Structure 1
Amino acid sequence: MDLSTVLRQRYATKAYDSGRRLPDAVVAQLMAALRDSPSSVNAQPWHFIVADDEAGKARIATGATGAFSYNTSKILNASHVVLLCARTSLPPAHLLAVLDQEQADGRFASEEAREGQRKTRGGYVTLHEEAGDLPAWTQKQAYIALGFLLLSAGALGVDATPMEGFDAGALDATFGLADKGLAPAVIVSLGYHAETDFNARLPKSRLAADVVFSRA
């Protein structure tokens, strides 16, 4: 399937077939899409909580109550659900872990190269810390991962639903996110749509190309 077809066919699934489960090999590819997503200065300022059973999905569904209860079935009936979290800070321990992983993966030809990367990444972190917008910056990186996950799901024939409609406080209480330096960014359900999913039959609607593009 070519990229244009994938982009035209993928959509936000509204109802899932609870009886269908994603194959393990497909799930592995989707998890790789998240892990291999790019981030500014390779800071990887994220953490992904994956629910692959009823208990796990129920825990994520604690965030879909009250005003957000319309999302409950999308979470409980999906095959897998991912809670994408953004780091609220990038402490030295995290930055050192990233740097050490880069070295283990062979990205530095010399100690000077390692030090250069450390200074560059640290400079960007300091820049955002001083501007007071580091949490917003890390959330932007989490949304890059979201885009990679949605596109990968479409390419693999997997239905997906990104959801910002959730109670962040409830998820924090369920998973202890704040204590871990994390904030919930978006929930993504993954699986196969049900026959009752009305959105599967609707045509995609986007503004015309001459509206959204202009020449520099």
Structure 2
Amino acid sequence: MNIVEISQTRYTTKHYDKTKKIPQDKLEQLLTVLRNSPSSVNSQPWHFFVIDNDIAKNKILPAVAEFNQPRITESSHTIIFCARSPLTEAHLTNLLNQEEQDGRFPVVGLKQAQDQGRHNFVELNSKTIESQLAWESKQLYIALGQLLFAATAIGIDSTPIEGFNATKMDEILGLKEKGLTSVVIAALGYRAENDGNAERPKSRLPKEQIFTFL
């Protein structure tokens, strides 16, 4: 499929076939896409919990809205997108060291410039705990978009899920102690035959209403 076909094919899956599991090689492709997702000043303010078994799924169900629970229990995999809260100095140092290890600073002075620029942007978006989390969440949603598109490209169905109680999820997974907070969930797998949403035509506003060319 080309990128237009992928965008026209992808939809939000409502019912999954529980008997079908995502092969490991395809899962690794999707995890690589998440790892490579862009983020502001390469802040990578995320951590992902990957769930592929009934025990772990049942553990998080109390935090998930009842109407969304079948998406968790029936799908092959569930990924919980978490933000680093707060974004610590240790994380920023770890980023800088990794960038240096990966050869991002071929010219003298680039490392210091990168570090200073990133700190400036983090501080700009961290006037409060809430503003920092809002900024980080934007980066997580970029990663979510990358994942949804990539999944369709390799024949995997998906469901983005906001219908859950983040406070309860954080408690269940002990995220506060880990310096994390849950932001959004994605279910991945293969649609069931009775998934009526698959048969409905895609509906979007016409381009004349949403694009302005200057």
Q: TM-score if structure 2 supplies the norm length?
A: 0.96
Q: Give 1:182 deviation, angstroms.
A: 1.6
Counterpart residue number, 1:9: 9
Q: Which secondary structure state, in structure 1, belongs to the residue aligned with residue 109 of structure 2? A: helix
- Preserved contact between residue 16 and residue 192 of structure 1 (Cα < 8 Å): yes
Counterpart residue number, 2:24: 24
Q: Does 1:86 align with 2:83?
A: yes
What are the residue-to-residue correspondences of 1:84-163 with 2, within 5 Å? Answer: 84-130=81-127, 133-163=131-161
CA distance in 1, matches of 2:71, 2:127: 39
- Preserved contact between residue 177 and residue 183 of structure 1 (Cα < 8 Å): yes
Counterpart residue number, 1:53: 53
Counterpart residue number, 2:209: 211
Q: Which secondary structure state, in structure 2, belongs to the residue aligned with residue 26 of structure 1? A: helix
Alignment RMSD, CA only? 1.2
Q: Give 1:131 deviation, angstroms.
A: 6.2
Q: Give 1:63 deviation, angstroms.
A: 1.5
What are the residue-to-residue correspondences of 1:38-77 with 2, within 5 Å? Answer: 38-64=38-64, 68-77=65-74
- Partner amino acid, structure 2, of 1:130: K
CA distance in 2, matches of 1:59, 1:50: 13
Q: Which secondary structure state, in structure 1, belongs to the residue aligned with residue 203 of structure 2? A: coil
CA deviation string 1:45-104 (max 9, x = no partner): 01100001112222232311xxx1011110011001100111222111000011111111
Percent of pairs with identical residues: 43
Counterpart residue number, 2:196: 198
CA distance in 2, matches of 1:143, 1:166: 16
CA deviation string 1:16-36 (max 9, x = no partner): 000000110100001011110
- Partner amino acid, structure 1, of 2:78: V
Q: Which secondary structure state, in structure 2, belongs to the residue aligned with residue 21 of structure 1? A: coil
Q: Which secondary structure state, in structure 2, belongs to the residue aligned with residue 135 of structure 1? A: helix
**Alignment coverage as a number of residue pairs:** 213
Aligned CA distance change for structure 1 residues 131 and 57 (closer, same or farther; 3 Å) = closer
Name stretches of at least 5 consecutive residues in structure 1 with no aligned partner: none
CA distance in 1, matches of 2:41, 2:173: 28
CA distance in 2, matches of 1:131, 1:53: 37
CA distance in 2, matches of 1:40, 1:195: 40
Of stretches 167-176 and 7-16 in structure 1, the one that deviates more from structure 2 is 167-176
Of stretches 123-132 and 169-178 in structure 1, the one that deviates more from structure 2 is 123-132
Name stretches of at least 5 consecutive residues in structure 2 with no aligned partner: none
CA distance in 1, matches of 2:95, 2:112: 13
- Partner amino acid, structure 2, of 1:41: V
- Partner amino acid, structure 1, of 2:167: G
CA distance in 1, matches of 2:59, 2:153: 28
Q: Give 1:127 deviation, angstroms.
A: 1.0
Q: TM-score if structure 1 supplies the norm length?
A: 0.95
